[in-house]
Amino acid sequence: MAGGTEAFPDLGKHCQHSDCRQLDFLPFKCEGCHKVFCLEHRSYKSHECPKSDHKSRKVIVCETCSTSIEKAGKEEEEVKIMLEKHKQSGNCDPRKTKKPTCPVRRCKETLTFSNSIVCKTCQLKVCLKHRFPDDHACRQDSITLAPAKGGRNEKFLTAFASRNGKDCAQSGQRPSPTSPSVKAY
How confident is the model at residue 51, as a pLDDT? 80
The overall pTM is greater than 0.75:
no
How confident is the model at residue 92, as a pLDDT? 78
How confident is the model at residue 121, as a pLDDT? 85
How confident is the model at residue 127, as a pLDDT? 92
Sign, CA torsion 126/129/130/132 = positive
How confident is the model at residue 36, as a pLDDT? 92
Distance CA 67, CA 90 (A): 12
Radius of gyration of the CA atoms of the chain, in A: 33
- Domain residue spans in the chain? 10-52, 57-97, 99-141
Same fold, 10-52 and 99-141: yes
Give the total residue count for the chain: 185
**Which candidate, 77, 121, 126, places its Cα nearest to that of 105?**
126
10-residue averages of pLDDT along the chain (185 residues): 67 87 86 90 87 72 76 70 82 71 88 85 89 80 46 68 61 55 58
How confident is the model at residue 145, as a pLDDT? 45
Topology of domain 10-52, CATH: Zf-an1 domain (4.10.1110)
How confident is the model at residue 170, as a pLDDT? 52
Distance CA 121, CA 19 (A): 67
Topology of domain 99-141, CATH: Zf-an1 domain (4.10.1110)
How confident is the model at residue 38, as a pLDDT? 92
CB 16 within 8 A of CB 49: no
How confident is the model at residue 73, as a pLDDT? 59
CB 24 within 8 A of CB 15: yes
Longest dimension (CA), the chain: 93
Report residue 66: phi and psi, to 5°: 60, 25
H or E segment at 13? strand 13-14
